[in-house]
Structure 1
């Protein structure tokens, strides 16, 4: 362990960096509302647009494109040099097209046969620009920080604002749709997406114009050798086990995020206004435990709390499976509140902080300036997690007794089934359990 440097990033730089993670709003819009819009629950007031198989295929195609671009964008940004730095120019170029693609997802063509193509193409463009913004943004943590304290502070502020933005994206839609709908659910949903997307754009642009990357970056103006970078990166057991644990955690987390609306409306039998209430409860509890989790992690690291959180998420996913069966539906409020506690650490604080430490270790031991490549590879695995969840969830949602699953998937003859909603929690539980195994054998590295 080395003594921490006394040099610290100014507080305003840390705050401006945190504000820039507003693209988390767009991430939440996609995760929570795209499948909902194309395959709505029965009580939504919307009509299904295409069969589940076409939704799954379109999202798989777009995620596959995204997976290819993640490490590519990371590597290109590692080798890019300008008077504005290596990372900020990518965020500046990608943020406006990202917002345009987000809005376009909710304006499919009237010709039903073209909708799968629309979802595939616009979805692919969405993820390309999401990567152009997200990978360089995350790589800024090890890029502009020179010691453990700066990395932890940047990761913490990113987590604080990501939590805030995600809460806004989950809590406000119910209110916005109700006030903007004019009794038209589709119009209300579209206006909500436009409002939140433009709000996200403001945060990204603010960061671009306030952080002077070159004032803090000590990256060398040299080309990163791809073969050498790959050899070093994939020989690191910490990085490999971290990636695999991350992959299965986010399969489970994305599944729960996607089906939360279905539980509120179809299992708990509540109206759209309760989408806001349940989200507020979840993120309220998450916010309450953010500071103690942060303090605990400074003392014992990230691995041990992560293992405890994964056990909790397995139990709570099983609780959702029993909601309305052996557990009263009113307890759904309690379950979602408790889910917020492990989510605070496992989904927000730990991923950027853990990877920043792995990167810092590699930079010290191997003199490797590949921050973007590391985060790009992480992005590849995050998108793989989403690909798996969006590929399986639409299919699971239409499963039920006396349902011809093949016809339901291929022809779109079925609608969302109650049994299918419950089945998604089994997918989440299994994913959290596999994640637990990889984090259990993960050799933690913390560079002070």
Structure 2
């Protein structure tokens, strides 16, 4: 052990910067597709005049299929045996399929009825999300197996989280592009061209992880496939029965360390999302007395500051994690974000509106740290699960984890409207909202994410995988396999020895 009590990352365990960059391109592609379809939905209302309620349904209904398709795709990926590996064929084909379907989806017929457009877009969206799942779920799983090292996993996730954030910087400009008079006759034409550009980007960039990255357990899976091919019950292997899928799903969601991560993520992320809209309302109606133009400008600057802070936080939290461990890094990052939420009460003030740019810097520690540390911790969970079940199930774990995030986001966005109504807010009153309404908006905006984040910290205190335990699990797995991982030729044998002071 070193003086800091940490294990050194062996040279063979390190993922090169080029490999991290390529994996990060997958994050950029993944986030860009997700951000695009959400940001472009406004075209259905502003460009085609579709009822906003129907647009809302189109935003939510297709995602309900994720409850089935995400875990199913994860299971399929985990149990695929091919010369190209378990993940890479789906990443490659999924990028191409999702790009083509996304492009076609936005070639909107303008001479059809609202009912036709609704069903056209609903069915097209469901097909798109199937292709999107084919890409995203194996890509997530691939990241969990790029390295077996406790700290290197966090570094990999830091790079992919950093690169994925660029999608959220680009997305706010989509509306400006689509409605630009310089380029297009109307928003519909703008949307069709934007979809084409995003589709081309997805094909050319999204396939790169499938081409340049290698799967750590690829050849091990092939060896198992050869052995099992001689067994009489080989027909039961793949495609697996529904019973095997259900059994694997239940085993995954019952694994306590994984549940702690899911619940903590749900609380931190969706506590933030639940009151995300309140920030804008508080800025407009409390700080600026109902001035929507000025309030929107400052809200925009707040978002920009938050994005910049998140970029910085990602690598800062990654460094802290290597010093104090993942759990403590989560406690620190989430704790700082709680302070940021609390500062809203004092910094959102009509007397000094510029102070509202301070809380986003601290709040960024919560979300920036969350999606850097948590995926790394899920990878550790996959190792412990393999020790207990003798199965590698990164696909199943990754799909359920991110489905929990998406489900929580949908519930949070829906519940946010009810919370706003509970404050007594009336848009017709403009800047003349009652004192009680302003007070409740401010309370919800501050207190709810503070409470959910505090509960998340308590939940992670129960999470059992420390650096030492993760190292012990790895040693037992390598002994159980009879060789050091990784398996593929691109990686050498390794001995994760301790650093002596």
**TM-score normalised over the length of structure 2:** 0.69
Compared CA separation, residues 236 and 57, structure 1 to 2 (3 A): same
Comparing 284-293 and 302-311, the one that deviates more: 302-311
Shift of 1:145: 2.7
Whether the 8 Å contact between 2:326 and 2:377 is mirrored in structure 1 is yes
Provide closer, same or farther for how the CA distance between residues 295 and 125 of structure 1 changes in structure 2, counting only shifts above 3 A: same
Q: Quick one: distance in 2 between partners of 1:67 and 1:366? A: 24
Residue aligned with 1:269, SS: helix
1:141 aligns with 2:165: no
Q: Superposed, which structure 2 residues align to 1:246-325 within 5 Å?
A: 246-255=265-274, 269-270=293-294, 277-314=301-338, 316-317=340-341
C-alpha displacement of 1:186: 3.7
Structure-2 separation of matches of 1:364 and 1:149: 20
- 430 and 197 in structure 1: CA distance in 2 versus 1, 3 angstrom threshold: farther
Question: How many residues get paired?
Answer: 430
**Which structure 2 residues correspond to residues 21-40 of structure 1 after superposition, within 5 A?**
21-22=27-28, 23-31=30-38, 33=39
The range that moved more, 242-251 or 318-327, is 318-327
**Residues 216 and 259 of structure 1: CA distance in aligned 2, closer, same or farther (over 3 Å):** farther
Counterpart check, 1:49 vs 2:50:
yes
Partner of 1:19: 25
Give distance in 1, aligned partners of 2:203 and 2:374.
24
Q: Could you tell me which residue of structure 2 aligns to residue 86 of structure 1? A: 86
Distance 1:150 1:254 in 2: 30
Conserved? CA contact 1:71–1:377, under 8 Å:
yes
Indicate if the aligned counterparts of 1:88 and 1:136 stay in contact, CA closer than 8 A: yes
Offset of 1:350 from its aligned partner? 1.5
> CA separation of 1:400/1:244 partners in 2, compared to 1, >3 Å: closer, same or farther?
closer
Q: Is the 8 A contact 1:59 1:391 kept in 2?
A: no
Q: CA deviation at 1:113?
A: 3.6
Which digits, 9 at most, give the CA deviation of each residue in 1:348-380, with x for residues without a partner? 311211101111222244322111111122132
Among 393, 405, 423, the residue aligned to 1:382:
405
Query: 2:96 maps to what in 1?
Result: 96
2:95/2:202 contact within 8 Å kept: no
Residue 408 of structure 1 is matched in structure 2 by: none
How many Å apart are 1:157 and its aligned residue? 2.4
Which is greater in Rg?
2
Asked if residue 366 in structure 1 is aligned to residue 371 in structure 2, the reply is no
- Cα drift, residue 127 of structure 1: 2.9
Structure number with the bigger relative contact order (C-alpha 8 A, sep ≥ 6) is 1
Determine if contact 1:177/1:192 at 8 Å carries over to the other structure. Answer: yes
Give the Cα separation in 1 of the matches to 2:76 and 2:332. Answer: 37
Q: Work out which of the residue numbers 127, 131, 134 in structure 2 matches 1:132.
A: 134
- What is the rounded CA distance, in whole Å, between the counterparts of 1:98 and 1:272 in structure 2? 34
CA drift at 1:94: 1.8
| Equivalent residue for 2:12, pick from 3, 7, 25 | 7
Q: Report the Cα offset of residue 434 of structure 1.
A: 4.5
- Contact 1:142 1:151 (8 Å CA) reproduced: yes
Say if 1:68 and 1:380, in contact at 8 Å, map to a contact too. Answer: no
Q: Deviations over 1:81-109 (max 9, x none)?
A: 22211111111222234335555369486
Secondary structure of the residue that 1:121 maps to in structure 2? helix
Contact 2:321 2:329 in 1 (8 A): yes
Q: 1:395 to 1:126 in 2, by over 3 A?
A: farther
8 A contact 1:58–1:117 mirrored in 2: no
1:200 is displaced (CA, Å) by 4.2
Partner of 2:479: none
Pairwise CA distance, 1:241? 1.1
Q: Distance in 2 between matches of 1:340 and 1:175?
A: 26
Residue 357 (structure 1) aligned with residue 357 (structure 2):
no
User: 2 CA distance for matches of 1:399 and 1:307?
Assistant: 32
- Gapped runs of 5+ residues in structure 1? 40-44, 405-412
